[in-house]
Chains A and B, each alone.
Chain A
Amino acid sequence: MGEATKDIEALIELMARLPGLGPRSARRAVLHMIRKRAQLMTPLADALHHVAATARECLNCGNIGTADICDICQSERRATGEICVVEDVADLWAMERAAAFRGRYHVLGGTLNALDSIGPEELRIPRLIDRVAAENVTEVILALNATIDGATTAHYIAEQLEGRVKVTSLARGVPMGGELDYLDDGTISAALKARKAL
């Protein structure tokens, strides 16, 4: 095997480590990039190089950006007094895609989990409490996953912030376009509990 082929094999091996890709799909992706070298591979390599050098966690909220303080935390327009607490940066991105929330975020970096010894100190909960005091926060919105771990974490945070600030959580129930027939019992009962007058 020549040196050049070795390099390509190494690239395929690295690509295969990405989530959602296996060796076969990595091979296809690399082949595609080589064929589209100018339009795809070179810009991708430049972007990867740049992001690898600059990407970092926001010191304030845990979002990923290219500066110590992310754009959202820096923006005065986002200082609405509301902080939306999410589990992961992917959840923050999902909220931003929806463009329904104009305040700031706080990324916990996980949920409380006794099995994996993840306690409040392993998450950014102490930092959240500091922010509530320092940033004139009027409402903390807990946008955590509707799982047992997510709910445990939400209750813990609500307990810590009790009496300091208004704490709310996302509603649970029927998704947009959802059909009752296909919903699980838990979602139906949660939706029924959270019903509202029309």
Chain B
Amino acid sequence: MEWRDEGALLSVRRHGESAAIIEVFTAEHGRHAGVVRGGASRRISPILQPGAQLDLTWRARLDEHLGSFTVELLRSRTAAVMGDRLALAGLNAVTALLSFSLPEREPHPSLYARTITLLDLLGTSPAWPLAYLRWELALLDELGFGLDLSACAVTGAREGLAHVSPRTGRAVSAEAAGKWADRLLPLPPALLGHGEGELSGVARGLVTTGYFLRTRLAHQLGNRPLPEARQRLVDAIARYSAPSA
């Protein structure tokens, strides 16, 4: 068995003295693991940093085997995020959430494309927190827990949407929410892709996506807790968006 593809590195784990087991998110083969011989060596280990874009060749005798990768670095994203606390938290959250949620060896080409775009924005564009929020929506959608934010679930109105129902994942307008507003989740313009993507809006949007990641996605995966890396990003965004005293 052999294939060649391109992918982003999600995680690395040392295997024995000189090898490493890596997990990558590829365009055509989804989340895939394999051994990199010499992956712990001085020559290869600097390449194997989470977020790195790699050219991968996977080989195994049988398809169900773990197999081994030959890797070549296409693009490193380490330097772009290293000095940026928030972007680094973003990179860790993206790779941890993909490792946590994607089924192995199942292609998700549209999510892959969005992920690569987001990874390229990290540390290079101030718009990445908004892109991250939209990416979490796409992740939910791709895994079958998409939110319907197109119209109010009660009135059908397309304007004045301000909340999300925690039960149905559908938008609710401020008018229809009435006295139930405090039981609904926030729907800031950032979640609809509107506005300038201020951090405060992104932080409110993450409350909503976090709710569905936790109660639907994580629940489906055996009620495992969401990766800590996501919470660290949420905390960091909340801190940066808080007005300074």
> Which residue numbers of A lie inside 8 Å of B, CB to CB?
19-20, 114-116, 119, 146-148, 151-152, 155, 158-159, 172, 184-187, 189-190, 193
- Residue in A20, A147, A190 whose Cβ sees the most chain B Cβ within 10 Å: A147
Is B99's beta carbon under 8 Å from chain A? yes
A-B contact pairs, 19 of them (CB 8 A): A19-B17, A114-B92, A114-B228, A119-B228, A146-B78, A147-B49, A148-B50, A148-B92, A151-B82, A152-B88, A152-B92, A159-B85, A184-B73, A185-B76, A185-B79, A186-B78, A189-B79, A190-B83, A193-B83
Given contacts A148-B50, A184-B76, A190-B83, 11 further A-B contacts (CB under 8 A): A148-B49, A148-B78, A148-B81, A148-B91, A152-B88, A155-B85, A159-B85, A186-B76, A186-B78, A187-B79, A193-B79
Is B195's beta carbon under 8 Å from chain A? no
Give min CB distance, B60 to chain A, whole Å: 23
Q: Interface residues of B, CB < 8 Å — how many?
A: 27
Q: Which of A20, A119, A158, A190 contacts B79 (CB 8 A)?
A: A190
Chain A residues contacting B80 (CB-CB under 8 Å) are: 186, 189
Chain A residues contacting B11 (CB-CB under 8 Å) are: 115
Q: How far is the CA of A148 from the CA of B11 in the complex (A)?
A: 11
> Which residue numbers of B lie inside 8 Å of A, CB to CB?
11, 13, 17, 46-47, 49-51, 73, 75-76, 78-83, 85, 88-89, 91-92, 96, 99, 227-229
- Residue in A20, A148, A190 whose Cβ sees the most chain B Cβ within 10 Å: A148
Chain B residues contacting A187 (CB-CB under 8 Å) are: 79
